[in-house]
Amino acid sequence: MRFLITGGAGYIGSHVAQRLLDTGHDVVILDNLSTGHKDAIPPEAEFYDIDLADGQATAQCVSCGPWDAVMHFAALSLVGVSMERPYEYLRSNAVTSLNLIEACAKYGVKRFVFSSTAALFGGKNLPPVIPDTAPVEPASPYGESKLIVERALKWADRIHGMRSACLRYFNAAGADPEGRLGEDHRPETHLIPLAIDALLGRRSSLKLFGNDYPTKDGTCVRDYIHVTDLADAHIYVVSKLDKESVTYNLGNGKGFSNLEVIEALERVSGKKLPWSWAPRRMGDPASLVADSSRFRADLGWNPLYSDIDSIVETALRWRITHPNGYAS
C-alpha cells in the first residue's frame, strides 16, 4: 500500500512511517521541519519539505496519488504554549488541516487517519478510565484545535465519502526498540525525556508540577502508550475505513503517576534521579487514562510494551546513544 504522512519527521509520525516501511508499504512524507528532524525521516521514505499552510503546494503533492491512506500528524502540540498563544494554535492547526482535508477530498482520497488527542477530555467529573464516548470538553486551545479538525472530517465523510479514523491517544512515550528512532522535542516538555536528561546530568533537577491532585500520591496520573504500539494501531485501523469512519481512544488502560514514572526510571537505570516540586501548570488535568477496549475488540490490537519499565527503558537507551538528539 502507498501512504502519505504529514509530520513524518516528528516523534510519532516518524515511528509510524518506519513501521509501515518495516511491513512492506511505500511511504511519502510531508514536513516543513519546523519542529521535526530530517534525521528522523526513515531513509526508505520519499520526503518533501512542504508547509501545509501553503494550500497550493499541499494540493499539488496530494494530487500525486493514488494513496491508500493519508495519515495526518503535523500540528503545533504544546498544551502550555497554546494557553499563552491560543489564536496561533487555533489558526495554525485548523488552517493546515483544512488545506489537507480539502486537497484529499478533491483528489479522491478515501481513507484518512488523524492524530487526535486525549486533550479533548478536559472537563470535570471524568471517569477514572475514559471511554471514547465520554463528553468532549477541551481544557486548552490545543485540544480545541483538534476538535475542530475532527468535526471537519465528519463533514468530509458526509459530503465527499472520505472515511476517517480519529485516534485520540494519550501519552506517547518510549522509542523504537531497535534504536533507530526516539523522542527529541525542542523545547522538550514531556516528563519521561526530561526525567532521563536529569538522570544523565544533562539538565538541572526535574521539576514535578503539583503534589496536591486528587490522585493516589498527589501527582498527575497519565496513561503512557509505547510509540511502537501506537504506530501499529495506525496500521490496524486502516482496514476499518473500508466500511465506516471511526473514533477511538488509544492507550494502555493503565495510569502511572509522575512519582511512579520516576521510580520506574530509577529501577531501570539503577541511579537516583534528582527532582523537586513545582506549582501546578494551568490546563493539566489530574488524571487521563484511556479505555481502549472498543479498539482492542474491533481490531484485535494489544500493546506489546504495556509496562512502564519497558517504556522508559527504550527511551533511556535511545537518549544514551543519542546524547544530542537528532543532528538536524
User: Structure pTM?
Assistant: 0.95
pLDDT of residue 230: 97
Contact 220, 277 (CB under 8 A): no
| Residue in the block written with cell 519499565 | 309
| Helix and strand element counts for the chain (H, E) | 10, 14
Can you tell me the distance from the alpha carbon of 120 to that of 207, in angstroms, rounded to the nearest whole number?
25
pLDDT of residue 228: 97
Q: Residue 226, SS3?
A: strand
Can you tell me the distance from the alpha carbon of 265 to that of 271, in angstroms, rounded to the nearest whole number?
8
Question: Which residue ranges in the chain fall short of pLDDT 50?
Answer: 328
Q: Which three cell numbers stand for residue 195?
A: 526525567
Angle at alpha carbon of residue 182, lines to 95 and 262, rounded to 5°? 105
Can you tell me the distance from the alpha carbon of 45 to that of 241, in angstroms, rounded to the nearest whole number?
24
Q: Which residues are catalytic?
A: 142
pLDDT of residue 79: 86
Can you tell me the distance from the alpha carbon of 130 to that of 248, in angstroms, rounded to the nearest whole number?
11
Contact 28, 48 (CB under 8 A): yes
pLDDT of residue 204: 87
pLDDT of residue 283: 65
Q: Which three cell numbers stand for residue 196?
A: 532521563
Q: Using CA atoms in the order 323, 8, 237, 231, what is the torsion angle rounded to 10 degrees?
A: -10
- Among candidates 116, 224, 131, 223, which has minimal Cα distance to 167? 116
| Cis peptide upstream of residue 187 (ω within 30 degrees of 0) | yes
- Please give the span between the terminal C-alpha atoms of the chain, in angstroms, as a whole number: 29
pLDDT of residue 279: 94
Can you tell me the distance from the alpha carbon of 57 to that of 69, in angstroms, rounded to the nearest whole number?
19
pLDDT of residue 286: 85
